[in-house]
Amino acid sequence: MGRLTDFVWRSDFFPRKLSFTREGKIVFVVSVGLGVAAVNTGNNLLYMVFGLSLALIVISGVLSESNLRGLRCSALPEVRPVAGRPATAALTVTSRRPRFPAFSIEAWPMIDGAETDPARFLDVRPGESQEGACRMTFSRRGEYALRGMVLSTSFPFSFFRKSLILPASGRILVHPRVHRLRAEDLPPASEGEEEHRPVAGRGTEFFGVREFRDGDNPRHLLHRRSAGRLEPVVREFEQAASRSVWIALVNATPPGEGGAERIERAIEKAASLAVHLVDEGRTVGLATISGAVSPGTGSAQGVRILDFLATLPSLEMNPPGIEEPIRAALDTNLRAFVAWVRP
């Protein structure tokens, strides 16, 4: 049954898709029972009630068809969803009908492998455009194909759901999951002393003075000024926005159980790192076996890295020396800090 439904939905042979709702099934069963009862007893009043139920079904079919007529749905806007987290897209439904509003319209993009929660429009008046939000949830990162835009209604009696598929095509890039990183996962900040690659010039510029807060480094206390103000004052440093970081991701499936799972984790971790560092204002680059994203700053750089990670393949083999392409990329900027991410 499931496969049949699937077939009907995918084939272009049926321009309209019709499915029973739960109420529709009940009404159908009741109608059949009524018909049997009417024929058996010859009770004309039962025939009359039977006629009513049939009329409801017939009118339902006719109206759901006319309720979809003259409606247009906007194209799916550019979205950059993140795997596992619902993404919202605004869809605009426009009625081009001269009269009669359209009721209870739902619209959603038909995307293989995505769960969609449709945009709902209660009441679209003639000539009116309405915008609604549709939510899509993708379980995995990657590239998804858009197969069409679906306009659907269960008007007027919620017995059937009638759907109309408007042609549309496109690709949707789903970014890997981004987690909040624990402190130990983060590469050291500039004022820390833990850098592995000592680089000349810390870039720690004096920025200003402020009152002491919990957690401040006591070594930065300005004792003389504190005495003058009768409260502790610390020196504040400008954040090291200019420090660049390479994220080196080894996208090779490690041997053993759950390798695929582990490479996904690694990709997610690389994505999280990139987002975090870009938000801190750092210059971030990404190097993988399958290619690199040259360093850059700002949110556009974050998107570039996530786009790259979205479709990043994982190498099935893990021979020695596989990290060579990464090291080659890293060598272009020796002063950068390198954060290694291995599955």
Partner 1 sequence: MNAVQFRPEDAARLARAVFTEVQRVFLGKPQVVSHAVVALLARGHVLLEDVPGAGKTVLARALARAIGGEFRRVQFTSDLLPSDITGVNVWSPRTEAFAFHPGPIFGNVVLADEINRASPRTQSALLEAMSERQVTTDRQTRMLPDPFLVVATQNPHEHHGTYPLPESQMDRFLVRLTIGYPDPEAERRIVAMQGFADKVETLVNAVATPELVVAAQAATSAVVVPDAVMDYAMDLVGQTRATEALEMGISTRGAVSLIAACRASAALAGRTYCLPDDVKEMFLPTCSHRVVLRGRGTAGAAAREEARALLTDLLARTPVPGD
Partner 2 sequence: MRFDRFHRLATIGTVLLGLSALFLSGEFGLAVVVPAIAVSLAGPFFWRSLDRPWLGPASGGVALVAGVVALLWALSTTDYLYAAIVYALFLSGLKVLFLRRAADFMQMYVLSFLQIMAAAVVNPGMSFGVVMLPYVVFLTLALMLTNLRRGIEAQATAPGGAGGPAAEAVRLNAALSRRDLVRPGFVTATVAITVGVFLVSLLFFFLFPRLGLGFFAQQSRRGMAVTGFSEEVRLGDFGNIAEDPEVVIRVKLKTVLSPERTGGGGGFPQETPAGAGAASGFSRTGVLRMRGQSLDRYDGTTWHKTTARRRQLEQDIDGRLRVDGRRDHLSVPGVEIQEVYLEPMLGSTRVLFGVPQVAAFERPSSALEALRPDQWRFHADEAGDVSLTGPPDVAIVYTVFSDPRPGDPAVLRLAGTDYPAAIRETYLPLPPQQAAVQDLAGRLSDGNPNPYDLARKIESYLKDNYTYSLSSSHGDTDPLADFLLVNREGHCEYFASAMVVLLRLAGVPARIVNGFYGGVANSFGNYVALRRADAHSWVEAYFPGQGWATFDPTPASALDLRSGRSWMQGVTDAIDAARLTWYQWVVEYNLEKQITFLASVFQLRRSGEGFGDSLKRQDFREMGDRLRDLPWSDIGLGFLGLLLGGAGFAVGLRRWRRRGVRVALLPPHDPVLRAYLRLRRILSRAGLRRERSETQLEFADRVSGARPEAADAVTFVTLAYVERAFGPAPAGTQAGPPDGLEARVDEAARAVARTPAPPASRLD
Query: DSSP secondary-structure letter at 183?
Result: G
Phi, psi of 209 (to 5 degrees): -130, 140
d(CA 303, CA 176): 11
Q: Is 88 in the site for partner 1 (CB under 8 A)?
A: yes
**Hey, which residues between 165 and 194 contact partner 1 (CB under 8 A)?**
none
Report the residue from 63, 168, 186, 303 that binds partner 2 according to the rule CB under 8 A. Answer: 63
Closest CA to 280 of 237, 332, 309, 245: 245
Sheet with 87-95, edge to edge strand ranges: 71-73, 87-95, 129-138, 114-117
Q: Is 208 in the site for partner 1 (CB under 8 A)?
A: yes
d(CA 58, CA 49): 14
The binder of 55, among partner 1, partner 2, none, by C-beta within 5 to 8 A per type, is partner 2
Q: Does the CA dihedral 294-297-302-304 come out positive or negative?
A: negative
* Contact code string over 98-137 relative to partner 2, x by CB under 8 A: --xx-xx-x----------x--x-xx-x-x-------x--
d(CA 242, CA 203): 8
Q: Is 209 in the site for partner 1 (CB under 8 A)?
A: yes
The binder of 207, among partner 1, partner 2, none, by C-beta within 5 to 8 A per type, is partner 1
Helix 44-68 and helix 22-41, axial crossing angle in degrees, nearest 10:
150
- Give the bridge partners for 318, in sequence order: none
185 or 216: CB nearest partner 1:
216
130 or 314: CB nearest partner 1:
130
- Among the listed ranges 9-17, 95-103, 155-163, 232-240, the one in contact with partner 1 (CB under 8 A) is 232-240
- Give the bridge partners for 99, in sequence order: none
User: Where along the sequence are the contacts to partner 1 (CB under 8 A)?
Assistant: 88, 90, 131-133, 207-211, 236, 238-239, 241, 281
User: Where along the sequence are the contacts to partner 2 (CB under 8 A)?
Assistant: 23, 26-27, 30, 34, 37-56, 58-59, 62-63, 86, 88, 100-101, 103-104, 106, 117, 120, 122-123, 125, 127, 135, 154-158
